[in-house]
Amino acid sequence: MGNAGRRKANNEDVFENMSPGRAVRTMAVPAVVSQLIILIYNMADTFYLGQTNNPQMVAGVSLVLPVFNLALAVGSLFGLGGGAVLPKLLAVDDREEAARVAAYCIRMTLYTGLFFSAVMLVFMRPILTLLGAGDTTLGYARVYVMTVLVLGGVPTILSNGLSNLIRSLGMSREAGIGVALGGVLNLFLDPLFMFVLLPRGQEVLGVGIATFISNAISCLWCLVIFFRRQKTIHVRLTAVKPKKENCRSVLKIGIPGTTGALLFDVDYMVLDRLTAGYGDAALAAIGIVLKVERLPQQTGIGLCQAMVPLIAYSHARRDYVRTRKIMACILKTGLAVTLISIAVYELFPAQIVELFMKEPVTLGFGTGFLRIRAIAAAIMFFCFFAVFFFQAVGDGVMAMRLTLLRWVCLNIPMLFIMNRFLGMYGLGWAQVTSDVITMLVSFAVLNRYMKKWENPSL
Residue 243 DSSP SS3 = coil
Closest of 48, 79, 66 to residue 210, by C-alpha: 48
- Local structure of residue 17 (DSSP, 8 states): T
C-alpha gyration radius of the chain: 21
Q: Which amino acid is at 124?
A: M
| Burial 3-25, CB ≥16 within 10 A → b, else e | eeeebbeebbebbbebebeebbb
Distance CA(433)–CA(380), nearest Å, equals 11
Neighbours of 29 (CB within 10 A): 16
Distance CA(294)–CA(281), nearest Å, equals 20
Distance CA(397)–CA(386), nearest Å, equals 13
360 burial (CB, 10 Å; 0-12 / 13-18 / 19+) is exposed
pLDDT at 9: 40
List of residues 6+ apart from 371 with CB closer than 8 A: 345, 346, 349
Q: How many domains does the chain have?
A: 1
pLDDT at 24: 87
Distance CA(132)–CA(138), nearest Å, equals 9
Closest of 356, 52, 74 to residue 205, by C-alpha: 52
Residue 424 DSSP SS3 = coil
444 burial (CB, 10 Å; 0-12 / 13-18 / 19+) is exposed
Phi-psi region of 394 (alpha: psi -120 to 50; beta: other; left: phi over 0): left
Distance CA(430)–CA(206), nearest Å, equals 35
Neighbours of 339 (CB within 10 A): 14
Neighbours of 447 (CB within 10 A): 9
Longest dimension (CA), the chain: 70
Distance CA(380)–CA(30), nearest Å, equals 21
Domain enclosing residue 96, as ranges: 3-454
Q: Are 163 and 222 in contact (CB under 8 A)?
A: yes
Chain mean position to CA 326: 21
Distance CA(106)–CA(89), nearest Å, equals 17
Q: Are 319 and 14 in contact (CB under 8 A)?
A: no
Task: Indicate the pTM of the whole model.
Answer: 0.74
pLDDT at 271: 83
Q: Are 398 and 343 in contact (CB under 8 A)?
A: no
Chain mean position to CA 170: 19
- Local structure of residue 239 (DSSP, 8 states): P
pLDDT in 10s for each residue of the chain, 458 residues: 344 444 444 556 777 778 888 888 888 888 887 777 777 766 677 777 777 777 778 777 777 877 887 787 777 889 888 888 888 888 878 888 888 999 999 999 999 999 999 999 999 888 888 777 777 778 888 888 899 889 988 998 998 889 888 888 878 788 888 877 887 888 888 888 888 888 887 888 888 898 899 889 989 998 988 887 777 778 888 778 888 888 888 888 888 878 887 787 788 778 877 887 777 778 778 878 877 877 788 888 888 888 888 898 888 888 888 889 999 999 898 888 888 888 888 888 888 888 777 778 888 888 888 888 888 776 788 888 998 899 888 888 898 899 899 888 998 899 999 888 888 888 888 888 888 899 899 989 988 888 877 665 55
pLDDT at 456: 59
